[in-house]
Amino acid sequence: MALEEKREKRPPVTPMMIEEEAALRNGSRGLPPGPWAEAVGPRPRTTERHIAVHKRLVLGFAVSILALLAVTMIAVLLSVRFEECGAAADGPPRAGGNGSLSGAARQPPGTGQPPGRPEEEKARGGEAAAAEEKQEEEEEEWQRRRELPPWARPRLPRHLRPLHYNLMLSAFMENFTFSGEVNVQLEVRNASRYIVLHAHRMHIEAVRVAEDKLAGGVRVARSFLYPQTQVFVVVLNRSLEVQRSYNLKIIYNALIENELLGFFRSSYVLHGERRFLGVTQFSPTHARKAFPCFDEPIYKATFKISIRHQATYLSLSNMPVETSVFEEDGWVTDHFSQTPLMSTYYLAWAVCNFTYRETVTKSGVVVRLYARPDAIRRGSGDYALNITRRLIEFYEDYFKVPYSLPKLDLLAVPKHPYAAMENWGLSVFVEQRILLDPSISSISYLLDVTMVIVHELCHQWFGDLVTPVWWEDVWLKEGFAHYFEFVGTDYLYPGWNMEKQRFLTDVLHEVMLLDGLASSHPVSQEVQQATDIDRVFDWIAYKKGAALIRMLANFMGHSVFQMGLQDYLTIHKYGNAARNDLWNTLSKALKRVGKSVNIQEVMDQWTLQMGYPVITILGNETTDNVIVISQARFVYDSDAKPKDPALGDNSYLWQIPLTIAVGNTSHISSEAIIWVSNKSEHHRIPALEEASWLLGNINQTGYFRVNYDIRNWRLLINQLTRNHEVISVSNRAGLIDDAFNLARAGYLPQNIPLEIIRYLSEEMDFLPWHAASRALYPLDKLLDRMENYNIFNEYILRQVASMYLKLGWPTNNLNKSLVQASYQHEELRREVIMLACSFGNKHCHQQAATLISDWISSNRNRIPLNVRDIVYCTGVSLMDEDVWEFIWMKFHSTTAVSEKKILLEALTCSDDRNLLNRLLNLSLNSEVVLDQDAIDVIIHVARNPHGRDLAWKFFREKWKILNARYGEALFMNSKLISGVTEFLNTEEELRELKNFIKSYEEGAAASFSRAVETVEANVRWQRLYKEELFQWLRKSLTH
């Protein structure tokens, strides 16, 4: 109701609107100031009193004839001049009609275009050729000066700064095009004849540059698009003056693309009818596809958006609708309030026919969730809406900085390249990461939805309010948002211990796998050009960034760390900041509590160097109570060539906050902190007795691995077997992960990690089981195509069997309160059932088959929510093709997004290679499998030992299609390349990978480099350690 009332108001008339309207009166598109505009303007009449009347008439007649001829010539030249403005466009066909918002809306781009006359086409061609020749001449002149022209440089020139954008759009959903008019207020820092800003894949209709109202316009000599750097260049007849303000007006049109970036379209089916929507995804460099702009994060400006659309749709943007103007022809224009200062990459808009539900925070922020009408009606967005309100209140209290906008809209869309995007005031989520039906959603699905929302809301402060200066420090926003996923979830569910426990397995252990490669990169890495930007958005920025922030918070102390963050946000709000700004603020916070640590000196070693250290603690044989602590860079494959040959692994050095404790069979001491800054150091440890063991990196707060001498490992294994609770849950999980990875890299004998997990039969906490499951997974994939795989399989089943019998299967009567109360227990049960079914426990297989058969026969799904994905996958792998077809049918018929996801993944579990091939081929049909889900299908088939070679073959055959679809989208290509290749482990597969890369050298070089190193490490492990592992397993199983 409130929305409709607002839209009935008329927009206020502003001086800028009056000026724009006046500027457009001289022609159908609005003439740039200059001689053409003056020629067609009204001229003062001249009278001659001394001429007779009949002479005046004759003279007047002659003048009229001459004027008519002049006007005709001017009209022809005018059309040529105006065509020249758009001659360099590389987008869709030109829009006809008026350059004003309403005129453009009445005639969609590409419609009703009369063919040009031959002489006009010839003139246009001549003008374009002349312009191109002029451009070449200028580029040659720049070359002679040994400089790149401003439009060929990787970054925009710094002589201009945008202050304000007035952007007016018309969206034509019937033919998926849009037209726009952008007015940019510019401040001149250095004099220049060139205006260079970003624009890509659009058609420029007209361009005009004006000073203030009194001084008038600046003549445009020419303008052109330069696709190599995705910029639009306006060349002026004279230089812009320093410290003056100018207005740049550009009229343009483009497509609402059928892809995943820029302003793109998506669709869904409601009541048998396909409906379409348009939505934006601008991060990191795609705002330039939707409007000409200064598309770098440093160029913060204010924005005033107006969107014209058919009245059957509604439009959304970062700010609330200020006024709506309805027209008689069924169109409406929504004028949105002006934004605060912000960067282009989190500007956003959408045109859709969704409905919404609403709530309000204590501070008055209006929160709405928009989604498909059927999802809103079912209440699928209610959970997300309610926790969003609570989380805004949590962040406002934690940061002591209020949320900065009057509203926050959450938009659930069917198709999106990422889980979500944090656009300020209009966060966009793919449906699977925000819609939740409690009656059919598991705890793990609820956790996924929760953490994505927590992440995006943190960005409203870290990213939107305070923005990194440049993409080299993207971790400043992504690392914080990823860290706060766990802090914010702990606020919602205090008993889940996310930051202290789940962070280890889901972030720390996972990113250390990637960062242990020689082909890794620093968290802060140099970004020179647009093609480098995609490279910095990876798990190193997100997860390593988060792990370093967590380490920093722990050695500073959480309360001091929080105080420092409050200062950082307050100082830099509505602006940009770099990592040194953060370090300086945190150092000052420490000084206020009497501590003196140079945060920058410590953290530069962690953010500017790639990789991480392995700390080795050795007992000293000659001196009592003295230990030797050494550090070295951890790498999985010591034979791998370093990324920078000049910087060998021995050159790496960190300042390491090593926490350490001494324990015995019944007790562990309080922790002490040792700052390790040299390659090797001696330290005296009091109370280190003969039977005592050492434990480093207490609760795994540090970003490093810890190795010990074999004697200490034996003591720790003995402790876990006798009384594991003396060691904390976090350290039990850490010991498991460190041991498996140290063995995989050759630092430890292969039997040590397998001996450690023997104690799990007594482990009743979820986290160590989860760590073991994750550590076993890559080892399982290295072995699952070996002849002797059954030996490994049998050993794991023995470790799982007793706990599987002890915990049993869940019933299907979970409700919301029970979910929260029993999270740890239910997740433990799920983990054990997954291991049992994956490794072939007969009872587990029978139970899964029974539950699937009951569903098929009764058409009632009584499978417990928290294990549905396990049951579906196990049933598909064990049972016949009819079960696969049944799951396929259910995938198509369900409208619940959580259910759709796990049904699709279950289809990849089949042992039937024909069905797997069929699914791979169907995955590229967007009508069957959503674009963002196709990657998961291919990866899951690759994880199936029966489908690994099929997925690898499919990937190579379809690479051109896949690269064209996902190449520009952050994460997607790297995720696909890693997922398909990470478990290849034969010499032949390594050769195939290298040959494939030689054939397709363009794009994804960093991802392919990591893939080669990973497969080389797999092959090396097979050659060096496989037999050692199997020999120990055979011996162990006979005892």
Q: Active-site residues: which are they?
A: 456
Q: Compute the radius of gyration of the chain from its Cα atoms.
A: 33
**Cβ–Cβ < 8 Å for 264, 227:** no
| Strand 302-310 to 273-281 pairing | unpaired
**Cβ–Cβ < 8 Å for 743, 753:** yes
Residue 937, classified by CB atoms within 10 Å of its CB into exposed (0-12), middle (13-18) or buried (19+), is: buried
The pairs formed by 940-945 with CB atoms below 8 angstroms and a separation of 24 or more are 940/905, 940/908, 940/909, 941/908, 941/916, 942/979, 942/980, 942/983, 943/781, 943/908, 943/979, 943/983, 944/908, 944/909, 944/910, 944/916, 945/781, 945/784, 945/785
DSSP states along 477-490: HHHHHHHHHHHHHH
Length of the chain: 1039
d(CA 646, CA 338): 52
DSSP states along 40-106: HS-------TTS-HHHHHHHHHHHHHHHHHHHHHHHHHHHHHHHHHTTT--SSPPP-S-SSHHHHHH
**Cβ–Cβ < 8 Å for 543, 511:** yes
Closest by Cα among 360, 416, 361, 355 to 380: 355
Residue 253, classified by CB atoms within 10 Å of its CB into exposed (0-12), middle (13-18) or buried (19+), is: buried
Token code pair at residue 363: 């501070």
Q: What are the start-end ranges of the E strands in 189-244?
A: 192-198, 203-210, 217-218, 220-226, 231-240
* Neighbouring residues of 981: CB distance < 8 A, sequence distance ≥ 6: 952, 993, 1011, 1014, 1015
* Cis bond before residue 284 (omega within 30° of 0): yes
402-422 CB burial, b ≥16 within 10 A, e <16: ebbbebbbbbbbbbbbbbbbb
| Strand 273-281 to 160-172 pairing | unpaired
896: phi > 0 → left, psi -120 to 50 → alpha, else beta; which?
beta
* Neighbouring residues of 558: CB distance < 8 A, sequence distance ≥ 6: none
Compute the C-alpha angle 598/601/602, nearest 5°: 90
**Cβ–Cβ < 8 Å for 868, 891:** no
* Residue in the structure block whose two tokens are 């008026």: 98
Distance of CA 371 to the CA centre of its chain: 21
Angle subtended by helix axes 1005-1038 and 729-744, to nearest 10: 100
Exposure of 437 in the CB half-sphere (CA atoms within 13 A): 16
Q: What are the start-end ranges of the E strands in 271-404?
A: 273-281, 302-310, 314-317, 321-326, 331-336, 349-352, 355-360, 366-371
Handedness of CA 452, 470, 601, 460 (dihedral sign): negative
d(CA 249, CA 26): 15
Phi and psi, residue 910, nearest 5°: -60, 150
Token code pair at residue 68: 């008519």
d(CA 234, CA 52): 52
d(CA 942, CA 950): 7
d(CA 286, CA 282): 4
